[in-house]
């Protein structure tokens, strides 16, 4: 049940606001991301028997510093995207 709630919050948090405010290109970008991620999840399970998250958790168990580097990189990337959206002005 916890994974279902996670998936609904993750996808809903990206897709619902972009749809409600008619940002259909951004909605499509996020939707395509989730489709691609879903395909990678299926491939990971098929070839390794584990999800992408399970692979990350296994890394975290043996190399917590490496896991923090990955999370830090993701944080930098998302903050850069948020800054790009909110910190720039529309070109005339």
Counting beta carbons within 10 angstroms of the beta carbon of residue 90, is it exposed (0 to 12), middle (13 to 18) or buried (19 or more)? exposed
Pull the structure tokens for residue 78: 């998302």
pLDDT in tens, 10-56: 999 999 999 999 999 999 999 999 999 999 999 999 999 999 999 99
pTM for this prediction: 0.85
Rounded mean pLDDT, 79-83: 95
**pLDDT surpasses 80 at 70:** yes
**pLDDT surpasses 90 at 71:** yes
Q: Please state at what angle helix 64-87 crosses helix 52-62, rounded to 10 degrees.
A: 120
Check: CB of residue 52 under 8 Å from CB of residue 40: yes
Distance CA 73, CA 3 (A): 24
């Amino acid at each position: 049940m916890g994974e279902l709630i996670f998936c609904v919050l993750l996808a809903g948090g990206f897709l619902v606001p972009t749809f409600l405010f008619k940002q259909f290109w951004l909605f499509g970008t996020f939707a395509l991301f989730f489709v691609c991620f879903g395909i990678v999840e299926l491939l990971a399970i098929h070839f390794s028997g584990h999800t992408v998250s399970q692979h990350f958790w296994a890394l975290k168990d043996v190399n917590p510093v490496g896991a923090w580097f990955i999370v830090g990189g993701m944080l930098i990337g998302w903050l850069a995207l948020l800054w790009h959206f909110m910190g720039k002005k529309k070109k005339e």
